[in-house]
């Protein structure tokens, strides 16, 4: 297992694509907070500061794609053959990838939260406001965002193992987040909708895109995402990953 983890790290550090993907998170955060400040956000309102910090969680859409490519990308380039020859126990491969990608997702989340803090500080200073960093709320929002980046990278690994075609896996994930979950949420009603993955991500990262939904508490969102990660990974190990590699 240890050697597989080392090998997975080396896979990440020897190609460029994952780093571009992870760099996209902080850029999104900077742009999003700038947009918030420019569109007349009130820098004296603690709610605006939280909304700015919550951009950290939005960057998780990139760690999701990053995670998907961990497995589906290997099928695309046929490097999965080599991976399974080195580790015929395929469940262990998924375990190693979950470990490495969750860690990389957390690092990306830290970078995004740093970007959120710096960008917010800069705009607030420019507009004559000042940051409220003594409140637990600020750190729970930033920390939740980091955790969301970590969790969605892991969910991506499970999803990419389940849907081994990268284009199909990414399209499914993005369609779910942008479209399907909103409709499913309306059909299920707010009491059930809050258990869905995107609402759980909102709860964890304390972003309130869908203000009408009654979200789970932050820790509840974290547990739900953990459960989704385990469910996807287990489903993959027992279905698609058992298939012949031809």
Partner 1 sequence: MPDIEVHGLTKTFGRVMAVRDLSFTAPAGKVTGLLGPNGSGKTTTLRIALGLVRPTAGEALIGGVRYGRLTRPRRVVGAMLESTGFHPGRRARDHLRVRAAADGIPPRRVDEVLGLAGLGAAARRPVRQFSLGMRQRLGLAAAMLGDPQVLILDEPANGLDPAGIAWLRGTLRDLAREGRTIVVASHVLGEVTRTVDHVVIVSAGELRFAGPLSDIGETHAALESAFLNLTAAPN
Chain residues in the site for partner 1 (CB under 8 A): 3-4, 6-7, 9-11, 14-17, 77-89, 242, 244-246
The smaller minimum CB distance to partner 1, of residues 89 and 132, is found at 89
Neighbouring CB atoms inside 10 A of 129's CB total 19
* Angle between the N-to-C axes of helices 90-126 and 136-162, in degrees from 0 to 180, rounded to the nearest 10: 150
Looking at the Cβ atoms of 11 and 137, the one nearer to partner 1 is 11
**Closest approach of Cβ 15 to partner 1, in Å?**
5
We find the least distance from the C-beta atom of residue 244 to partner 1, in angstroms, to be: 4
**In whole angstroms, how close is the CB of 33 to partner 1 at the nearest point?**
32
Closest to partner 1 by CB, 20 or 135? 20
Question: Minimum distance from CB of 163 to partner 1 (Å)?
Answer: 19
Burial code of 39-77, b = ≥16 C-beta within 10 A, e = fewer?
A: eebebeeeebbbbbbbbbbbbbbbbbbbbbbbbbbbbee
Nearest to partner 1 of 100, 213 (CB atom): 100
Nearest residue to 148 via CA among 113, 179, 174: 113
Beta strands, E only, the chain: none
Q: How far apart are CA 233 and CA 114, in angstroms?
A: 30
To partner 1, the closest distance from the beta carbon of 93 in angstroms equals: 10
Whose Cβ is closer to partner 1: residue 127's or residue 242's?
242
């Amino acid at each position: 297992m240890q050697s597989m983890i080392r090998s997975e790290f080396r896979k990440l550090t020897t190609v460029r694509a994952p780093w571009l993907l992870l760099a996209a998170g902080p850029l999104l955060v900077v742009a999003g907070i700038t947009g918030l400040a420019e569109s007349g956000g009130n820098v004296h309102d603690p709610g605006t500061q939280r909304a700015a910090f919550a951009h950290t969680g939005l960057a998780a859409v990139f760690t999701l794609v990053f995670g998907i490519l961990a497995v589906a990308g290997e099928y695309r380039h046929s490097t999965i053959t080599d991976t399974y020859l080195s580790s015929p126990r395929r469940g262990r491969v998924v375990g190693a990838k979950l470990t490495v990608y969750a860690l990389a997702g957390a690092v990306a989340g830290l970078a995004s939260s740093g970007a959120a803090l710096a960008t917010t500080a800069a705009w607030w200073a420019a507009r004559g406001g000042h940051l409220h960093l003594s409140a637990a709320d600020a750190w729970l929002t930033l920390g939740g965002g980091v955790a969301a980046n970590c969790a969605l990278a892991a969910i991506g690994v499970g999803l990419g193992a389940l849907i081994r075609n990268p284009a199909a896996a990414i399209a499914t994930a993005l369609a779910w987040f942008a479209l399907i979950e909103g409709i499913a949420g309306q059909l299920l009603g707010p009491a059930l909708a809050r258990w869905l993955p995107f609402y759980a991500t909102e709860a964890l990262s304390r972003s309130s895109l869908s203000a009408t939904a009654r979200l789970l508490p932050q820790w509840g969102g974290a547990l739900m995402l953990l459960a989704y990660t385990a469910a996807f990974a287990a489903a993959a190990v027992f279905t698609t990953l058992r298939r012949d590699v031809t």
